[in-house]
Amino acid sequence: MKCRAGAIFTILLLWSSPALAWDPSREDGGDAPPEVEREPDPAPFIAPPPGTYYVTDTYVADVVTSTGALTTYSTTTVHESTGSYARVLDTVGTGASSAFDGSAFNGRRTLGDGRSVAGTYYENYVLGADGFVPVSIVFFQDDAELARLLSGTPVPGVNTAPSIPATTSATPRPSARACCATERPVVTIASPTRAPIQPRISLIPLGGPLATIEKIRGRAVSLYPRAFVGDREVRVRSWTVIAGDAGEAVLTTGSGAVPFRTSWRHLAPPGAVFDVVFRIEVDTPETGHRTIDAAIGVVVRSPALER
């Protein structure tokens, strides 16, 4: 038995031959192409911080104008390129705080009721040998308020009349002057020219804007927060209910394609309405990334018997 097994093993050993398979991991280097000698870049590419753009409009000054009861907070700019760059740090709504409060060289104003104005913080850069160097932060105010609102004492969620809170009017967006650069006499930063954005709320996707609606108690309603530049509608990226009584809402935040669906099962006090305030976010090449607030008053009515 042992002899037979040894014979079989010997026969198999004699019949063996090397396999001619291709070895993908073999590194003989024989067929490697000659390495091309690369020339150094004449101007090495320096990646800018995300969101940075070339400034074409320069900050001039903060402007506060009053027309009747309307006070507008805006920023003036001059169309000028100084070779500097900028990027958006934060866009804040009326009364909202920001991590950059106090860091802007031009400060941030307050409305008549003490709330901070809405606007956008920009950081200014100059391109040096070591890359983009931040030189300053500027705040572009963009807000408005109605004087009549200051006389009332708003009750959270319930106001005695439909009113428009201090809303971000869309003043043409500016640029900023860097205050601290020493290499240049004036370092200016600007954002792209941005058109005014008008927030609107409607009950159907293509419906007209409404400031107040009357609803039957318990009946569902869909509200569409929308944004317009002039007469043209721009895409709403998202919306969020930031104040007011949202009722039995399905969602309090959503994308622009989704309406705000809710119903109210309770009534406001006699003579009062529910004010619902939306924060609408738009982010298009034309408008840039911005947020605007829109409010709608809701009068909830309940069918009752008249005796």
CB of 224 to another protein, least distance (A): 10
Q: Is residue 304 a contact point for another protein (CB under 8 A)?
A: yes
Query: Which positions ≥6 away from 126 have C-beta within 8 Å?
Result: 83, 84, 85, 132, 133, 135, 178, 181, 183, 184, 187
Q: Is residue 305 a contact point for another protein (CB under 8 A)?
A: yes
Q: Is residue 301 a contact point for another protein (CB under 8 A)?
A: yes
Q: Is residue 302 a contact point for another protein (CB under 8 A)?
A: yes
Q: Is residue 203 a contact point for another protein (CB under 8 A)?
A: yes
Among 211, 235, 257, 289, binds another protein (CB under 8 A): 211
Which string of b and e fits 145-173 if b means at least 16 CB within 10 Å? bbeebeeeeeeeeebeebbbbbbbbbbeb
Between 122 and 224, CB nearer to another protein: 224
Q: Element (H or E) spanning 13, and its range?
A: helix 2-15
Among 61, 207, 235, 248, binds another protein (CB under 8 A): 207
CB of 273 to another protein, least distance (A): 11
Q: Is residue 219 a contact point for another protein (CB under 8 A)?
A: yes
Nearest-angstrom CA–CA distance, 57 and 77: 6
Q: Is residue 184 a contact point for another protein (CB under 8 A)?
A: no
Nearest-angstrom CA–CA distance, 87 and 281: 18
Count of CB atoms within 10 A of residue 40's CB? Answer: 5
What are the residues binding another protein (CB under 8 A)?
Answer: 202-204, 207-208, 210-216, 219, 299, 301-306
